[in-house]
């Protein structure tokens, strides 16, 4: 089993923008803020200090990303690579 957060948008920038609340949630969890509210994208970007970058999975590393995001072609490519590397059906 493999689970990742996936956001597919028209552009890479819009996908990164939509993933901002998830990035903020993980940041809050890492510092012990377990009950912090999850804001919308604009507020999350403000709290993060900018739009987060989407790091692509590096084939063969077997370290799955927390997030997969991008335009449809980019997301399809990333999920295909992940599925092959982790033998997901």
Q: What is the DSSP string of 9-74?
A: -SSHHHHHHHHHHHHHHHHHHHTT-TT-----HHHHHHHHTSPPP-PPP-TTS----SEEEESHHH
Low-confidence ranges of the chain (pLDDT < 70): none
pLDDT at 89: 78
**Distance between CA atoms of 39 and 24, rounded to whole angstroms?**
9
**Distance between CA atoms of 23 and 67, rounded to whole angstroms?**
9
Give residue 74's domain range.
5-85
Strand partners, 69: 7
pTM of the model: 0.84
pLDDT at 2: 85
pLDDT at 28: 97
% of the chain surpassing 90 pLDDT: 79
CA 31, 58, 80, 78 torsion: positive or negative? Answer: positive
pLDDT at 1: 79
Domain count, the chain: 1
pLDDT at 79: 95
């Amino acid at each position: 089993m493999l689970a990742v957060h996936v956001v597919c948008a028209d552009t890479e920038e819009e996908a990164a923008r939509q993933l901002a609340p998830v990035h903020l949630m993980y940041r809050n969890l890492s510092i012990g803020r377990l009950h912090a509210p999850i804001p919308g994208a604009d507020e999350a970007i403000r709290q993060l200090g900018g739009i987060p970058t989407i790091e692509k999975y590096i084939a063969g590393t077997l370290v799955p990303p927390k997030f997969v995001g991008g335009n449809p072609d980019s997301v399809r490519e990333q999920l295909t690579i992940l599925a092959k590397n982790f033998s997901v059906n």
